[in-house]
Amino acid sequence: MKRFLSGITPSGDGTLHIGNYLGAVKQFIKLSVNHDCYLMVADLHALTTIQNKEQLQKNTETLILNELTLLVGELGLSLPNITFFRQSDVPLHAELQTILNNVTPLGLIKRAHAYKDKLAKETALDDINMGLFNYPVLMAADILIYKSDLVPVGRDQKQHIEIARDIAERFNKIYGSGKRKAASGKTVFTLPEPYIPEDVAVVLGTDGKRKMSKSLGNIISIFEDEEIIKKQVMGTFTDPTRIHADDPGHIEGNMVFTYLDFFGVKGKVEELKGFYRRGQVSDMEVKNYLFESLLKYFTKARESYKELNSNPALVQKILQEGAEKARSFAEKTLTEVREAIGLTNKYSFFSYN
Ligand code: TYM
C-alpha cells in the first residue's frame, strides 16, 4: 500500500473552511481507501506566526476537532488506514530537520514563496524569523520521515513538495553510496510526488478572485452557526453583469455554481444552470439552494462535531494512539538516517563497517 503524510497548520483561528475541505481533507478521505495515511496537525509550523500560548492551544484544539470531525463523519470512529496525530508529539521531525538543514542549499530556501512573499512586502529582515525561513525544511522532514510516496495538498504547497524532493535527492546522493549508505543497502528516502487534483488545486473564495483563505475574509465555514454560513453564502460573488433576476446570467466564474458543482445534487444543479442562463431564476434562489446543500452535505460532520466536542477523552485517545504509531515509524527512519550519516554509538574503535 502506498503511504503519505499531509498536514494542516492551526493558523488563523484553527477552523477549517470549504477550501481546506475540498483541497485537503476530502482528498485524504478518498485516498484512505487504499493508502496508509499519516495526518498531522502541524503545531510546530504554527509557531512561525503564533507566539501566544493560549492562542496556540486554542487553535490547535479547534483544528483537531474540525479535522477529526470531518474524518469521523465520513469514515466512522475506527478511521481505517489513518494515523492522526500532533506534529509536536513526534519530536523526531525536529531532529530530522536539523540533519536535513545540512544538505539543503541556502539558494533553494531563498527561492521559497513564503519567504519571498515577505520580502516582496518589504518586511525588514529582522522581522522575518528563522522558523518561517526554514519552514520548507521542517516540511521536508515531515514528509520524508514517513517515506511518503505522494503528498496530497492544494497548489499553494506544490513548491514545498518539490523542495522536499530536492532535499531527499541530495541526501540520497550524498549518503547513498559506499560505506555511508543505509544499513539496508538502499537509499534512505523515497522521493515524494505532489498529489494535486486540478479541480480543487485552488478553491477560490467568495470574492471570486483570490484563493479562499481565512485571512482574506472570503471563506465559507463548515462548523460555524447557520446564520454566519448563510451570510457568507449570501455575500458570494455571482454574475456582476446581471442586474435583474430575468436577465440571462453567466455560470462561468460564478462562485455559487462553482461551489454547487461540489455540494449540490448534479441533476438539480444542471437544471438550475439552465434556468440561470435563461433568466428564469434569481440569485437569491440559487444562493438559498447552495446554503441548503452545504448544510445537508455536512449534516453528519456537524453531528460528529457535537459528539467529539463533548468527549475530550476520546479525542485524546485517538491522538495518543496516532502519536505512538507515528513515533514508531519515525524512529525507524531516524535509525536509518543516523546510521547513514555516521551518528551511531557503536564504540567499535575504528572499524567502521
Ligand atoms: P495550510 O494549513 O495552509 O493548508 C492546509 C491544506 O489545505 C490546502 N488549502 C487549499 N486548497 C485548495 N484551495 C484553497 N483555497 C485552500 N486553502 C488551503 C493547502 O494547500 C493544504 O494542503 N505547510 C502546510 C502544512 C504542512 C504540510 C506538511 C502539508 C506542514 N507540513 C507536510 C503537507 C505535508 C500548510 O500550512 O497548509
Per-residue pLDDT tens digits for 151-161:
999 999 999 99
The 10s digit of each residue's pLDDT in 278-331 is: 999 999 999 999 999 999 999 999 888 989 999 999 999 999 999 999 999 999
Q: How many domains does the chain have?
A: 2
Strands (E), the chain: 2-8, 35-41, 82-86, 150-152, 193-195
CB count, 10 Å around CB of 124?
A: 8
Torsion of CA 331, 334, 339, 343, to 10 degrees: -110
Regarding the beta carbon of 301 and ligand 1, being less than 6 Å apart is answered no
Q: Which domain holds residue 164?
A: 3-203+312-341
Q: Is 19 annotated as a binding residue?
A: yes
Q: 57 with 193, same domain?
A: yes
Tell me the sheet residues that pair with 152: 195
Residues of the chain with pLDDT under 50: none
156, burial (CB in 10 Å: exposed 0-12, middle 13-18, buried 19+): middle
Angstrom CA distances, 46 to 21, 41, 42, 107, stand at 19, 9, 7, 24
Are 14 and 86 part of one and the same domain? yes
pLDDT of res. 177: 62
Q: Does 61 share its domain with 138?
A: yes
Contacts of 278 (CB under 8 A, 6+ apart): 248
CA of 321 to the centre of ligand 1 (A): 24
Separation of CA 194 and ligand 1 centre (Å): 12
Cell, residue 18:
470549504
- Distance in Å, CA 128 to ligand 1 centroid: 21
Q: Are residues 106 and 228 in the same domain?
A: no
Q: Which amino acid is at 82?
A: I
Cβ-proximal residues to 333 (8 Å cutoff; 6+ apart), any chain:
92, 96, 144, 145, 146, 147, 188
> Does 255 contact ligand 1 (Cβ within 6 A)?
no
Kindly state whether residue 179 falls inside one of the protein's structural domains.
yes
Q: Would the CB of 9 count as within 6 Å of ligand 1?
A: yes
Q: 285 and 168, same structural domain?
A: no
CATH of the domain at 256: 1.10.240.10
Q: Ligand 1 in contact with 114 (CB < 6 A)?
A: no
CATH number of residue 8's parent domain: 3.40.50.620
In sequence order, what DSSP letters do the residues of 84-116 get, joined into one string? EEEGGG-THHHHHHHHHHTTS-HHHHHT-HHHH
Say if ligand 1 is within 6 A of residue 187 CB. no
User: Which residue's CA is the closest to the ligand 1 atom numbered 19?
Assistant: 154
Note the pTM of the prediction, 2 decimals.
Answer: 0.95
Would residue 216 count as lying in a domain?
no
**Has 242 been labeled as part of a binding site?**
no
Q: Determine if residue 126 is labeled as part of a ligand binding site.
A: no
For residues 28 and 172, membership in a common domain is answered with yes
Could you tell me if residue 307 is inside a domain? no
Q: 260 and 194 in one domain? A: no
- Distance of CA 186 from the midpoint of ligand 1 (Å): 31
Q: How far is the C-alpha of 274 from the C-alpha of 228, rounded, in Å?
A: 29
